[in-house]
Amino acid sequence: MNNEIALKLKGVFAGYGELNILENIDIEIPVKTSLAVLGRNGVGKTTLMSTIMGHATLHAGQIEFFNQAIERLPVYERSRLGIGYVPQTRDIFPSLTVEENMLVAARPGRWPLERIYELFPRLAERRNNMGNQLSGGEQQMLSVGRALISDPKLLLLDEPLEGLAPVIVQMLMEVFKKLIAEEDLSVILVEQSAKLALQVTNQAIVLNRGQVTYQGLSQELLSHPEQLAKLIAAN
């Protein structure tokens, strides 16, 4: 039994400049836990990811990563400590090849390039193509691959299934399930599609207007669709 806490947020208020979006967020993610972050458009899901990563402005509260205070560290330090980020915007470098896109983020560890290509054979086929020649699905695979190659202990996935064809969604879901089951990794999965996210995670939170309105087991929400609908719809 491993009760080690990978990430802890305590009383976090954060936003952009003086604008506050997140209110009093308390979250604890034990090692090897996968957390779904649910909620409608604009409730603050991406802001939560940006706050963990260091892109947003922290107004109050603490953020700890494996018991180390990280709230004052710059983005690259948080990344170096082991937080991998797959942003909603994917952020592929258009004029670098698939392989170069990954090598800029590579660190020695559990995820050498060849292992990423095993996970996503499509990326191996496209290794010499430029970032701007990729389909949406391929870009998303590349964004996940680029996060993994930095050998993260915590992986932040911001709406990785958004706008993708059903066959790609299925494939990525399988990959996420595999990562969550087999790797020594904690995962935060932001998703609009609650059903998909709850299927692959063990814990969930619902955000509404920057506040956590539910915190519990994913299974609990999956088996109570009315409660889930109410939580997501609440104003």
Ligand X SMILES: Nc1ncnc2c1ncn2[C@@H]1O[C@H](COP(=O)(O)OP(=O)(O)OP(=O)(O)O)[C@@H](O)[C@H]1O
* Interface residues toward Mg ion, by CB under 5 A: 45-46, 88
Counting contacts by CB under 6 A, is residue 153 touching ligand X?
Answer: no
Which one, 16 or 225, has the nearer CB to ligand X?
A: 16
- SS3 percent helix, strand, coil of the chain, rounded to 5, is 35, 30, 35
The binder of 103, among ligand X, Mg ion, none, by C-beta within 5 to 8 A per type, is none
Counting contacts by CB under 6 A, is residue 46 touching ligand X?
Answer: yes
Closest approach of Cβ 27 to ligand X, in Å? 15
User: Which residue, 182, 222, 183, is CA-closest to 202?
Assistant: 222
User: Which residue, 22, 29, 48, 26, is CA-closest to 211?
Assistant: 22
Amino acid present at 57:
T
The binder of 223, among Mg ion, ligand X, none, by C-beta within 5 to 8 A per type, is none
Contacts of 32 (CB under 8 A, 6+ apart): 2, 184, 185, 186
The binder of 16, among Mg ion, ligand X, none, by C-beta within 5 to 8 A per type, is ligand X
Which one, 88 or 211, has the nearer CB to Mg ion?
A: 88
Closest approach of Cβ 88 to ligand X, in Å? 6
Counting contacts by CB under 6 A, is residue 44 touching ligand X?
Answer: yes
Counting contacts by CB under 6 A, is residue 21 touching ligand X?
Answer: yes
Q: What are phi and psi of 201, to 5 degrees?
A: -115, 160
The binder of 47, among ligand X, Mg ion, none, by C-beta within 5 to 8 A per type, is ligand X
Q: Looking up tokens 């095993």, which residue turns up? A: 118
Choosing from 42, 109, 163, 225, the residue that interacts with ligand X (CB under 6 A) is 42
Choosing from 41, 67, 68, 235, the residue that interacts with ligand X (CB under 6 A) is 41
Beta bridge partners of 35: 188, 203
Q: How many residues bind ligand X (CB under 6 A)?
A: 13
The sign one gets for the Cα dihedral 140, 5, 229, 211 is: negative
Contacts of 188 (CB under 8 A, 6+ apart): 7, 29, 34, 35, 37, 49, 52, 154, 155, 156, 157
Give the DSSP H/E element, type plus range, for residue 113. Answer: helix 113-119
Q: Which residues 176-235 are close enough to bind ligand X by CB under 6 A?
A: 192
Counting contacts by CB under 6 A, is residue 160 touching ligand X?
Answer: no
Which one, 6 or 14, has the nearer CB to ligand X?
A: 14
Give the binding site for ligand X (CB under 6 A).
Answer: 16, 19, 21, 39, 41-47, 88, 192
